[in-house]
Amino acid sequence: MTRQQLIEEIHRKKSFLCVGLDPDHAKIPAHLKDNPDWIFNFNKGIIDAVAAHCVAFKPNTAFYECYGAWGWAQFEETVHYIRTAYPEQFIIADAKRGDIGNTSGRYAKAFFENMDCDAVTVAPYMGSDSVKPFLDFEGRWVILLGLTSNAGSIDFQHHGSEPLYLEVIRTAMTWGNPDNMMIVAGATRGEQLKAVREAAGNAFLLVPGIGAQGGSLEEVIEMAMIPQDIGLLVNSSRGIIYAGDGEDYADLAANEAAVLAKKMSLTFA
């Protein structure tokens, strides 16, 4: 998906919501627990219910890998379903991969060729040759970790007199551009989102940390939205997908997604 297509979809829906698909057997509704394809079926319920309110889905690989090869197949089936039923949705494999050049190319192949994801999250520690192989795929995106939303982000991302996260963002934007690179920018530290926006130029920011992790949507919009192009994908996972744990879980998820989308719609003229 191109940047322009994504922006058009955001304007059409008046929403820049991304829904995280992190299936957890302990949290899903009782009526799905014994389903032999419970991950896919849980996800399908959510996807069908919230697709009208969001522009992106973000399955996190950890929640599938922990169920082995079967879990990996459920990940593939989930991506295939979104791609087929909702081709206008932007699909992010939240994998946080990164390895030496020829090996990163393998990860890119896994997510872009085998699975037709639009984007994959990438960790920056190993530098240019760990990131660039993902950029070789036309029409696909790297979403690089910049400033993350977790407590441990304080440990290394602020290292140096120029904080590492700003150095990472500035450097990475010379490898890619706003048409193939986005930046992860946690919502939990509003004052730093502004610095991220300055370093990232017009690149889209993927913003986790809304809801369960304490970030404020209003602050994100104030600090990091750009005119016309919006430049934001704001993610919510647990707050939406586990809004309920009964047979009406998908309806409750849709309600939560609609509340966020409604707030977002107020920013469109």
The set of catalytic residues is 96
- Indicate whether 106 belongs to the interface with a second copy (CB under 8 A): yes
Contact 190, 221 (CB under 8 A): no
Return d(Cα 6, Cα 12) in angstroms, integer: 10
Ranges of H-type helices in the chain: 3-13, 38-50, 62-65, 68-85, 101-108, 128-135, 153-156, 164-175, 190-200, 217-224, 238-241, 249-265
Determine the 3-state secondary structure of 93 from DSSP: strand
Which two three-digit tokens encode residue 68?
């082995």
Total of residues contacting a second copy (CB under 8 A): 55
Q: Minimum CB separation from a second copy for residue 66, in Å?
A: 4
Q: Which of 8, 66, 214, 222 binds a second copy (CB under 8 A)?
A: 66
Q: Output 41 or 255, the one with its CB closest to a second copy.
A: 41
Q: What's the one-letter identity of residue 138?
A: E
Q: Please choose, out of 11-19, 48-56, 81-89, 106-114, the segment that lies near a second copy by the rule CB under 8 A.
A: 106-114
Q: Which of 129, 34, 26, 43 is nearest to 80 (CA)?
A: 43
CB 257 within 8 A of CB 235: no
- Rule CB under 8 A: is residue 131 a binding residue for a second copy? yes
Q: Which residue has 């104030």 as its token pair?
A: 222
Given 2, 35, 128, 177, the residue binding a second copy (CB under 8 A): 128
Which of 65, 198, 218, 251 is in the footprint of a second copy by CB under 8 A? 65
Query: Does 245 contact a second copy by CB under 8 A?
Result: no
Q: Would you give the binding string for a second copy spanning residues 144-173, x where CB under 8 A is met?
A: -x--xxxxxxxxxx-xxxx-x--xx--x--
Residue 164 Cβ, how far from a second copy at the closest point, in Å? 5
Q: Which is nearer to a second copy, 53 or 208 (CB)?
A: 208
Q: What is the DSSP letter of 213?
A: T
Dihedral sign of CA atoms 188, 191, 193, 199 in order:
negative
- The minimum distance between CB 64 and a second copy, in angstroms, equals 9
User: Given the complex with a second copy, which of 131 and 261 has the nearer CB atom?
Assistant: 131
Rounded least distance, CB 112 to a second copy, Å:
10
Query: Exposed, middle or buried: residue 137 (CB in 10 Å: 0-12, 13-18, 19+)?
Result: middle
Q: What is the contact surface with a second copy in residues (CB under 8 A)?
A: 22, 60, 62-63, 65-70, 72-73, 76, 96-101, 103-104, 106-107, 109-110, 114-115, 123-131, 145, 148-157, 159-162, 164, 167-168, 171
